[in-house]
Amino acid sequence: MDNLRLKKGQSKNSEGFFYRLLAVPELGVIVALISCAVIFQSLNSVFLSSQVMGSIVQAVTFVSIIAVGQAFLLISGVFDLSVGAVAGLVAVSSGKLMTSMGWPVWAGIIGGLALGAAIGAVNGFMVTRAGVPAFIQTLGMMFVAQGMIQVVTKGYPVYPLPEVMTTIGESSFFLTLGWNAVIWVVVSLVGDFVIRKTSIGRNLYVIGGNSEVAKIVGINVQRYQMNCFILAGTLSALSGILVMATLSAGAPSIGGGWELTVIAGTVVGGVSLFGGVGTVAGAIMGVLLIQCVQSGLITSGLSPNFQLIAVGTILVLAVFLDVSRRGYRNRMRNSEKAETPVFPLEKGKGGGE
Amino acid sequence: MALKSVLQVKDLSKSFGNVDALRKVNLNFFEGEIHAVLGQNGAGKSTLIKLLTGLYETSSASGFLILNGDEIQLDSVSDARQKGIGYVPQEIEIVDTLTVAENIFAGNLPTNNGVFSHNHILKLAQELVDKYELNLPVSDFASSLSTAQRQTTMIARALASNPVILLLDEPTTSLSKEDAQTLAKTMVGLRAKNVTMIYITHRIPEVLNLCDRATVLRDGQVALELAKSDFSTEKIISSMIGKSLNKDNTESYKVISGTNILTLEDIHVPRRGPQSVSLDDVNLTLREGEILGLGGLVGSGRTEVLGVISGRTPLVTGKITLNGEVIVGANPQKMRDKGIIYLTEDRKREGLLFNLNLIKNTTAGSLKLFSKLGILDEGKESEIAVAAMKSLTVKTNSYAAEPSHLSGGNQQKVLLARALISKPKILLLDEPTKGVDVGARQEIYEVIRRIQASGTSVIVVASDLDELLSLANRVVVMAGGKSVDEFERADGDEARILKFGTGVLS
């Protein structure tokens, strides 16, 4: 940060600690996570136990793998509503490949991932090339995928799966966490690195910030957004396969309603619905926060019926806080501006002509 | 003829910060006349229009508006309309899926005892059309109208509120010659019905043929007022130019005789949207190391030429040759890779990234300079970006700040820094000092000359003729989507540019 700043005397209050703290994009969700932990811990000390924490992470794994893809999409200015249905469709299709089709497990997994990528490619093509709005295209794809789940399964879960899948799904080597958590951590770290530290990530911010500017500076907007759709489809597929392994069955209900949980979590984590703002880390913490509240409500003995109410309230509150924070930073900026005269004094003296 | 004043503008002044847009303007519009208001870009025409149509509240300016003898205050557009100022905007805004009658009353639909009745509206529209003898099929859908009829519909919409005076804002800009003649006929017809019209334009022949009186604005003041008997092209042009231009600015007189690095031949491009114009036979060459100025009025196709060169606008016909190579299938990425960088006139919509800090704004599109295998070296990035911004004297509290808090001049310097770090061979500058205060302007001129000195060829579009002529070694004049003149700086001046731009020569 130091090399970004002018001499100390010039920087004045603009880069004060508080101002910089406000600039941390994940600040809101971090504060919320901490307060949430403090509140629920004080209501019932079981909240911070390894069991509850482990169950939270386990519950969060699947959705937040998808949230990584959704964060990429949202940062580049588009989004995908079909992620949950795709996860479900891939779970049952991949299961079918391994069972009734008799494919080897690795081929079943690759087939599933390829299906997810292909659906992402269709979404990407229709949005970036054919010009269908992302909302409509991915809503349509959500229905199609949900329908295909019924077609593939006729309503019955796909099982028994090969032994290996169950072993992966039920593995547990730290607290209650196993391979699922490992894959989640790897996907999250790689995703966060790509967004923050690579040209791919930077170009996505440029596209999401202003796609006209992106085109002018020579970024292939369509190709980047296309690849984001493919990434989101593939990560949804991965998530679906992991759920299937965990359940030891390709249940038709997998992924139902996840699209909204994913978007809610991502947005709560500070990723802007308008593009160009947010991080993968923020998105994951957002999903984590929502799960914390849901689990916390259970440990504190409230009726599970309050969970949805809480999620809805958090979503609106999070965006409201985000909007206010930006407004506050803008006001700080403007008050600085007022101190700095627009016209230097020397110019003013000579201005009389 | 006893002249009855319909609208009087008295001592009207309006300023924006340090800039005086209007200074004690006095105008008198008499009943039944067509009164032309002329002026170069920036002369104050649009500020005057915005004050007369209520877009700027009267209270934000000093001076008086007197309508039919009574002083009026305008608070909003609808207020101005109610008080009797009819406005026909420059853009034709017609809803194709509605009938002509509905379009005429759009935004102000009359009801029949509170009930919307299409027949009622048809009747009212027909009455209006009959009263002013307009040529309009009121029950047809607007989609079937010709351009001239669309323009007439806009006029009918303004007439529907029974205005005391009608203000037409450059109505012929997007019209063909034939359509413009139809419009002129319509206006003559309205004059016969004693309608008073203010005709904002920069086309002198139209003024000579059509108008009864003309007022020239320059630098926010009335520079000349003429009655029809005194009309002359020379008087109007010299008054539009004024004598305040910086004559001793001979810095750009040097003839740069470098090789041709870029040639455009017979370029044709259709109109791409309401804000753009079509290009219709553009030819120009750019020499290595020179600053080429594109002159002409707003809407003459200057920006579109830059669009073609930067690859944003696909060609229909024509040939672009860059360093001896004919370019096929130009797009922004390709042209950028070939060293052509475009700097927009619209910093907010097509330049700055308000979600990223100044450093990232500067390096957008040039990530290769500090990345290996796609991984960014942010230390090196800020070194490069800060060095570029410092060399252009960007004034900011922090280079990690976002661009929204910078002044216009500093925002422009950030965009210049973005252009420069990619070491362009050809730099395209569209209105480089738009929204930049006077002090920072000189700095930006210096920067542009430094860029030229470093061997980059530059094409500048500037509406301010002083700016254009002090920068350009050579000038190409655009008018109506055509390149109509090309001269060395020493061989011509503002009059040569204006003669074409105003339609006196074509």
DSSP type of residue B431: S
Mean pLDDT of B264-289: 85
Tally of CB atoms within 10 A around B31: 17
Confidence at residue A283, expressed as pLDDT on a 0 to 100 scale: 94
Report for A20-24, A269-273, A326-330, A336-340: range of highest mean pLDDT: A269-273
Mean pLDDT of A24-47: 83
- Whether the pLDDT of residue B155 is over 60: the answer is yes
Nearest by CB to residue A209, choosing from B18, B310, B356, is B356
Nearest CA in chain A to B407: A342
Sort out which chain A residues have CB atoms less than 8 A from B354's CB and list them: 209-210
Q: What element of type H or E holds B214?
A: strand B213-218
Going by C-alpha positions, the residue among A93, A81, A92, A91 that lies closest to residue A262 is A81
Higher pLDDT, B2 or A28: A28
B381: buried, middle or exposed (CB in 10 Å: 19+, 13-18, 0-12)?
buried
pTM here is: 0.76
B167: buried, middle or exposed (CB in 10 Å: 19+, 13-18, 0-12)?
buried
Nearest by CB to residue A206, choosing from B17, B353, B402, is B353
- From B217's Cα to the closest Cα of chain A, the distance in A is 21
CB contact under 8 A, A15 and B397: yes
Mutation choice for A interface testing from B358, B398, B430 by most A CBs within 10 A: B398
C-alpha angle with apex B106: B102 to B108, nearest 5 degrees? 115
- From A12's Cα to the closest Cα of chain B, the distance in A is 8
For residue B190, what are its two tokens? Answer: 């309205």
Distance of CA A97 to the CA centre of its chain: 29
Mean pLDDT of A79-106: 92
- From A112's Cα to the closest Cα of chain B, the distance in A is 29
Q: Tell me, what's the ipTM?
A: 0.79
- Whether the pLDDT of residue A267 is over 80: the answer is yes
How do residues B238-269 score in pLDDT, each as one tens digit? 888 775 445 555 666 777 777 889 999 998 88
CA distance B176 to B172: 8
Domain B258-339+425-506 has CATH 3.40.50.300: yes
Mean pLDDT of A67-86: 95
3 state DSSP class of B52: helix
Total beta-carbon pairs less than 8 A apart between chain A and chain B: 122
Q: What element of type H or E holds B222?
A: strand B221-227
- CA gyration radius, chain B: 25
Strands B62-67 and B221-227: unpaired
Confidence at residue B150, expressed as pLDDT on a 0 to 100 scale: 87
Residue A282: inside a domain: yes
Residue A334: inside a domain: no
CA distance A63 to A52: 18
Residue for token pair 């924490």: A53
Going by C-alpha positions, the residue among B41, B498, B44 that lies closest to residue B237 is B498
- Whether the pLDDT of residue A334 is over 50: the answer is no
- Whether the pLDDT of residue A306 is over 60: the answer is yes
- Whether the pLDDT of residue B215 is over 70: the answer is yes
**B400 near A CB under 8 A:** yes
Q: What element of type H or E holds B460?
A: strand B457-461
Higher pLDDT, A317 or B415: B415
CA distance A330 to A322: 12
Confidence at residue B107, expressed as pLDDT on a 0 to 100 scale: 76
CB contact under 8 A, B400 and A5: yes
CA distance A82 to A240: 13
Mean pLDDT of A302-311: 82
- Whether the pLDDT of residue A63 is over 80: the answer is yes
How do residues B434-460 score in pLDDT, each as one tens digit? 877 766 788 888 889 988 988 899 999
**A15 near B CB under 8 A:** yes
Task: Measure Cα distances from B288 to B256, B322, B411 in Å.
Answer: 8, 11, 28
CA distance B289 to B256: 7
Nearest by CB to residue A220, choosing from B333, B349, B439, is B333
Task: Measure Cα distances from B313 to A100, B67, B302, B462 in Å.
Answer: 54, 46, 13, 20
- From B249's Cα to the closest Cα of chain A, the distance in A is 18
Q: What is B5-94+145-241's CATH superfamily?
A: P-loop containing nucleotide triphosphate hydrolases (3.40.50.300)
Give A348's pLDDT tier (boundaries 50, 70, 90).
Answer: very low
Cis peptide bond N-terminal to A104, omega within 30: no
Domain range enclosing A93: 46-321
Going by C-alpha positions, the residue among A171, A170, A175, A172 that lies closest to residue A48 is A175
Mean pLDDT of A173-185: 83
How do residues A141-158 score in pLDDT, each as one tens digit? 999 999 999 999 988 888
Sort out which chain A residues have CB atoms less than 8 A from B401's CB and list them: 14, 333
- Whether the pLDDT of residue B344 is over 80: the answer is yes
CB contact under 8 A, B386 and A1: no
C-alpha angle with apex A344: A340 to A349, nearest 5 degrees? 135
3 state DSSP class of B62: strand
CA distance A327 to B427: 36
Residue A14: inside a domain: no
Q: What are phi and psi of B70, to 5 degrees?
A: -105, 140
**A21 near B CB under 8 A:** no
Give A169's pLDDT tier (boundaries 50, 70, 90).
Answer: confident
Sort out which chain A residues have CB atoms less than 8 A from B307's CB and list them: none
How do residues B57-116 score in pLDDT, each as one tens digit? 998 889 999 998 899 999 988 889 888 899 998 878 888 888 999 999 887 777 777 777
Task: Measure Cα distances from B278 to B177, B273, B281, B316 in Å.
Answer: 15, 9, 10, 11
Residue for token pair 């009267």: B58
CA distance B469 to B135: 45
Give A47's pLDDT tier (boundaries 50, 70, 90).
Answer: confident
Q: Are A52 and A175 in contact (CB under 8 A)?
A: no
E strands, B73-163, in order: 85-88
B70: buried, middle or exposed (CB in 10 Å: 19+, 13-18, 0-12)?
exposed
Higher pLDDT, A252 or A26: A252
For residue B457, what are its two tokens? Answer: 């060829």
CB contact under 8 A, B371 and A276: no
Confidence at residue A351, expressed as pLDDT on a 0 to 100 scale: 30
- From A4's Cα to the closest Cα of chain B, the distance in A is 6
- From B364's Cα to the closest Cα of chain A, the distance in A is 7
Contacts of A329 (CB under 8 A, 6+ apart): A19, A22, A23
Percent of chain B predicted with pLDDT > 90 = 32
Confidence at residue A5, expressed as pLDDT on a 0 to 100 scale: 41
Confidence at residue B259, expressed as pLDDT on a 0 to 100 scale: 85
- Whether the pLDDT of residue B290 is over 50: the answer is yes
Sort out which chain A residues have CB atoms less than 8 A from B396's CB and list them: 6
Percent of chain B predicted with pLDDT > 70 = 94
Average per-residue pLDDT for chain B: 86
Distance of CA A172 to the CA centre of its chain: 25
Sort out which chain A residues have CB atoms less than 8 A from B387's CB and list them: none
For residue B326, what are its two tokens? Answer: 């004919």
Confidence at residue A90, expressed as pLDDT on a 0 to 100 scale: 95
Give A23's pLDDT tier (boundaries 50, 70, 90).
Answer: low
Confidence at residue B48, expressed as pLDDT on a 0 to 100 scale: 92
Domain boundaries, chain B: 5-94+145-241, 258-339+425-506, 354-423
Nearest by CB to residue B398, choosing from A11, A275, A276, is A11
Q: What are phi and psi of B363, to 5 degrees?
A: -90, 0
Confidence at residue B500, expressed as pLDDT on a 0 to 100 scale: 75
Higher pLDDT, A165 or B83: B83
For residue B166, what are its two tokens? Answer: 């009608």
Confidence at residue B494, expressed as pLDDT on a 0 to 100 scale: 79
Tally of CB atoms within 10 A around A7: 6
Going by C-alpha positions, the residue among B472, B446, B445 that lies closest to residue B458 is B472
Confidence at residue A3, expressed as pLDDT on a 0 to 100 scale: 43
Q: Which of residues 291-310 of B touch A (CB under 8 A)?
A: 310
**A216 near B CB under 8 A:** yes
CATH number at residue A264: 1.10.3470
Contacts of A211 (CB under 8 A, 6+ apart): A77, A221
- Whether the pLDDT of residue B135 is over 90: the answer is no
Higher pLDDT, A17 or B228: B228
Q: Are B141 and B97 in contact (CB under 8 A)?
A: yes
- From B377's Cα to the closest Cα of chain A, the distance in A is 8
Confidence at residue B276, expressed as pLDDT on a 0 to 100 scale: 73
Mean pLDDT of B288-301: 86
CA distance B52 to B81: 10
Q: Are A206 and A59 in contact (CB under 8 A)?
A: no
**A222 near B CB under 8 A:** no
- Whether the pLDDT of residue A181 is over 80: the answer is yes
Nearest by CB to residue A212, choosing from B350, B375, B379, is B350
CB contact under 8 A, B401 and A209: no
Nearest CA in chain B to A12: B397
E strands, B235-347, in order: 260-269, 279-287, 291-295, 317-322, 325-326, 340-343
Average per-residue pLDDT for chain A: 83
- Whether the pLDDT of residue A21 is over 70: the answer is no
Count: domains in chain A: 1
